[in-house]
Chains A and B, each alone.
Chain A
Amino acid sequence: MLSNTGNFLLLINIFLSSLIIYSSFKCLKIKNNIIFKNIYQISLMQSTLVLMCFFTLIAAFVVSDFSLITVYQNSHSLKPLFYKISGTWGNHEGSLLLWVIILTIFSFLFLIFNRNHPKNYRLYTLIIQNFLILGFLFFIIFNSNPFSLISPIPKEGLGLNPILQDPALAIHPPLLYVGFVGSSIYFSAAMASMISNYSGRLFAQSIKSWVLISWAFQTLGILVGSIWAYYELGWGGFWFWDPVENASLLPWFAMTALLHSLLVLEKRNTLYFWTIILCLMTFTLSVTGTFLVRSGILNSVHTFANDPSRGIYILIFLSLMIFASIYFLFSKYKPTNDLINSNSKETFVLINNWFMMFYLVTVLLGTLYPIFTDAISNNKISVGPPFYNSVIIPVVIVFLFFMAIGPQAKWIKNKFSNLRSTLLILGGAIIINFAIVYFLKSYSLISNLILISSLFLIMSSIFDFFKKSRLSFPRIVSHLSFGFLILFIGLNHNFSVEKDFNLKLGEAKKIDDYEFALLDLKLSQENNYKAVVGKLEVNNSNTMKRRILYPEIRIYDNPQTLTYEASIETNFLGDHYLTMSNIDRSEYYNIKFQHKPLMIWIWISVLLLSFGGFLSLFKNAKNN
């Protein structure tokens, strides 16, 4: 029943998308600036029906309708309701449906919120967006249908991967998809802009809000994924340069560059083609990321089952997108004579773009290089954190300085009138850095420079806040929080303590300033898993603080899986992080303890960074 409803709704959506494309072409032939009313109506209907289709799938998960393969493979009748619902998008098929929802809703919203832009531009955007929607709908129906039936109907489902039963992970995909898939709308708009010759400042205004929405959500999505990895995977870090993490970072770099180049296009009417390239690049990178993750080329915690036919479909889709982009770009490209003064805000924005492209290329190379060596020379290699850290970190230092100075520059022609205050701030940053280093007794050249440059950015932003009008507030929030982010990462990295040792019940061990004792082990029976809970006492002889931490080893039934839950005590100064794992045929447990200073501030900084994006969005909406 639910399967039929779902399939029926999917087919209707294919029909509606085709109808929108057809009506739009028809409407284009009429020479006036009015879009047919029925196009609005069909678009609204399309969004509503896609949502209904998604709710049908949610219903199937809620009532545990195991006649659907997707529900059977990813759910279980004993699973808590919340995770039954989040299981809807926690798998390949369901998440694709979420993709289509975002594609459709963004398409509809773009249509109604851009009434003051020319008809042709809006219609071409709609047409291209609907081609994307059609592509994904066909993909769903012919390859990854969440409503496929299984016979005979199994009595019980196979469960959801236990590490995915987590609130952070329930919201991680939707947030990330708004960012990822949201970028489709300015991909379509950029194509439409080239086709309808609608360029310049007005084009920039029409897509600015959409770039901001996707950027802010992408930032949040990355944040939530990172928090999840921190406390769920038990690795004790917040960024691992895992290829799939990188896949979400690549479009973020492109979006950030786009966000800045749009400013130039809006204010100075230059860099049009560069902005177009960034629009096209962002969504192309999003689809590339999806391809890499879903085709199974990359191995990671995102274990969507391997299925080469999926990969081939996305690859064909990706190729069509790329070659259509290239075709339009090459046929429409006109070399422009953008005269930009080397000392002006425009130049600083361009510098931001170069940095973003540098990061993008570095991460892209690091991610793709192993795939290429494997494909070409059969050589399996992996590119890990040392590569990224050594290439990216030194460049970040320079980047932060530019990020601090850039916003103070003036459009067209800048004069360095505030050199004295800049030097003063720099002096202040250096003094604070050495104070930190002196009190906390740790020294390395790079980390000093990181601290100085981030402090410089923070202080410049605060200085800006008191000097400038409220209008630049969103930018100040984002730049300030980025400064804080790098500062906290730097401090966290520099002053983290890590201890790795084995302990048995009743035993105590003293390592440097810490004393650890395994006081108790308890077996607890929860709803969908059993757990061995350790009670560990951690004494710090320096601060005379005594902590009790409760790490867990969880044994899930469906499917039978062992997971290690970290016990984390968080406060404003730092986290105490402890994981415990059993050692085969031994009464000892392996204990991994970490003290990570200022951890929570890293999360707060990213939250504020994204908040800056939302503020800017509201400001932009108010202005237009």
Chain B
Amino acid sequence: MQKIIKSIIVFLFIFVLLVFYNSLNRETNYSTDYLVGNKLTNINLKSFDDNKIYTSEDIQKSRYTLINFWASWCAPCRIEHPYLMQLSKEKNLKILGVNFKDKKINASKFLNELGNPYYYMAKDTTGKQSVNFGIYGIPESILINNETIVLKKFVGPLNEQNLNDIKEIINSL
């Protein structure tokens, strides 16, 4: 009996230490880098204007889609907006805008003022849907292809460099 107890104690410690060892190599800062190269499943976004739901099927219609998370209250979103406007002219790319924790009236005002670059417009009033995309702050954008595989992820406002990167990818084929 004593031997069994002793072995259990030893195994318990080995188990704890192994878990510790395993945890060492994990990224503990919440990171969404792992998303790149992965396939997005379970896309389920409410339309901004009506009750339509956007799913993977909608996204698969276009060769490339840039999912952009934005809000009218977000100052950096204003900064990146001109780049989105430029990208909206690209024929290989459609932009899906996800309006994040925002009021509809403010969001509409924002787009009236600065222009609407979005082919699809979805909303995430509670911010819960965006979590599935690994979003923890806005603005963030995810470039995906028609198989819904994430090609690139942009944290923070898009800049000139990002713009060129996106153009290069979508025009590469």
Contacts and interface: CB of A to CB of B under 8 A. Distances in A.
Interface of A: 291, 295-299, 306, 308, 311-312, 315, 318-319, 322-323, 326, 330, 368, 371-372, 374-376, 380, 584-585
A403 B20 CA distance: 36
Given A297-B24, A297-B28, A308-B24, A372 B19 contact: yes
A323 B26 CA distance: 25
Contacts of B16: 368
Given A311-B20, A315-B24, 13 more contacts: A295-B20, A295-B23, A297-B24, A298-B28, A299-B28, A312-B24, A318-B17, A323-B13, A371-B23, A374-B26, A375-B26, A584-B75, A585-B75
A104 B75 CA distance: 55
Contacts of A372: 19
A308 B25 contact: yes
B160 to A, nearest CB: 23
B172 interface: no
Interface string B1-31: 0000010011001001101111111101110
> Chain A CB within 10 Å — which of B10, B20, B29, B75 has the most?
B20
A319 B10 contact: no
B6 A330 contact: yes
B23 A374 contact: yes
A315 B73 CA distance: 46
Interface pairs A-B: 8 shortest CB-CB: A311-B24, A308-B24, A375-B22, A375-B19, A297-B23, A375-B23, A585-B75, A319-B17
B17 A295 contact: no
Contact of A315 (B13, B21, B26, B75): B21
- B contact patch SS: helix
B10 A315 contact: no
Contacts of B13: 322-323, 326
Nearest to B25: A308
- A contact patch SS: helix
Nearest to A327: B10
B73 A326 contact: no
> Chain A CB within 10 Å — which of B6, B9, B21, B75 has the most?
B21
A306 B26 CA distance: 11
Contacts of A319: 17
A312 B16 CA distance: 14
Contacts of A318: 17, 20
Nearest to B19: A375
Contacts of A323: 13
B71 to A, nearest CB: 11
A326 B9 CA distance: 9
Nearest to A586: B73
A296 B20 contact: no
A570 B94 CA distance: 58
A190 B140 CA distance: 56
Nearest to A292: B20
